């Protein structure tokens, strides 16, 4: 199963029999996927389905047990890492830094950092004072700051791992608005792993359903809704019942 590039260009992301095991447990099992440039992909499935491991393989944070993953035709290395923006599920921010110091610190690492985008995102995510220490921010404010750090880059590939997890509904709406507003349509690919499907499915162009490390379904989001006559959230509930 694969998302095939419809533009005629080579896929931005391609996996070939990608598998990853942790001791005796298989996190990914023979995953074959192609993802084209310039779309937003929903990476969906229950806990333990392999979503985070899949993103870490694309980022080059974990090595496949078998098979391989390609980003712009290369296995993950220093070159590809410079082209991938990654928002991990775990909180990776330094609590003693202020918001402004954190933004300056992270921005210094990337050539594709966009200072003007930082200002727009600060306005969009709202209620995050640049002078405040990160350790004093609420969970929702920290989530919005993490999103800013990922979306402030013009990286060809953006990986967002559960950016809405545990966040209150108003904050979720701001996060989704920020994603859509700063997304470079046709130029960037965003892969968004989330359990908050009902709120986020409207921004998906394509969806990938994972289950126990295997690809269960790959589809165009709108075509899937029309063919099934229901929401993607309802389909997930049915598929994984």
Low-confidence ranges of the chain (pLDDT < 70): 1-9, 127, 241
C-alpha triplet 153, 126, 176: angle, nearest 5°: 60
- Count Cα atoms within 13 angstroms, Cβ side, for 154: 10
Provide the 8-state DSSP code for 205.
S
Beta bridge mates, 229: none
> Is residue 79 a contact partner of residue 60, using CB atoms and an 8 Å limit?
no
* Pairing state between β 206-211 and 13-22: unpaired
Q: What is the C-alpha to C-alpha distance for residues 174 and 91, in angstroms, rounded to an integer?
A: 19
- The per-residue pLDDT for 8 is 60
Beta-sheet strand order (sheet of 206-211): 84-87, 157-161, 189-193, 40-44, 206-211, 214-220
CATH code for the structural domain at 13-239 = 3.40.50.300
Find, among 15, 96, 26, 22, the residue nearest to 57 by Cα: 15
The rounded distance, in Å, linking the Cα atoms of 203 and 236 is 16
Give pLDDT tens digits for 2-41. Answer: 444 455 668 999 999 999 999 888 999 999 999 999 999 9
Interatomic CA distance for residues 192 and 223, integer angstroms: 19
Task: For residue 66, give the 3-state DSSP assignment.
Answer: strand
């Amino acid at each position: 199963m694969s998302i095939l590039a419809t533009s005629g260009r080579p896929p931005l992301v391609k996996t070939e029999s990608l598998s990853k095991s942790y001791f005796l447990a298989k996190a990914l099992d023979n995953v074959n996927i192609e993802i084209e440039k310039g779309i937003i992909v929903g990476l969906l499935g229950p806990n333990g389905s392999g979503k985070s491991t899949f993103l870490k393989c694309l980022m080059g944070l974990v090595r496949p047990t078998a098979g391989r993953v390609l980003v712009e035709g290369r296995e993950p290395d220093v070159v590809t890492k410079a082209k991938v923006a990654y928002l991990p599920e775990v909180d990776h921010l330094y609590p003693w830094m202020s918001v402004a110091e954190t933004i300056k610190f992270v921005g210094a690492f990337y050539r594709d950092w966009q200072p003007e985008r930082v200002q727009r995102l600060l306005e969009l995510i709202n209620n995050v004072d640049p002078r405040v220490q990160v350790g004093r921010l609420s969970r929702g404010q920290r989530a919005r700051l993490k999103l800013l750090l990922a979306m402030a880059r013009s990286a060809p590939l953006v990986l967002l791992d559960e950016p809405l997890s545990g966040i209150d509904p108003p904050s979720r709406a701001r996060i989704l608005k920020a994603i859509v507003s700063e997304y470079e349509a046709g130029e960037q690919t965003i892969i968004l792993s989330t359990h908050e499907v009902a709120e986020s499915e409207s921004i998906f162009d394509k969806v990938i359903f994972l289950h126990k490390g295997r690809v269960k379904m790959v589809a165009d989001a709108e075509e899937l809704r029309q063919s099934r006559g229901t929401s993607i959230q309802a389909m997930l509930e049915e598929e994984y019942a």
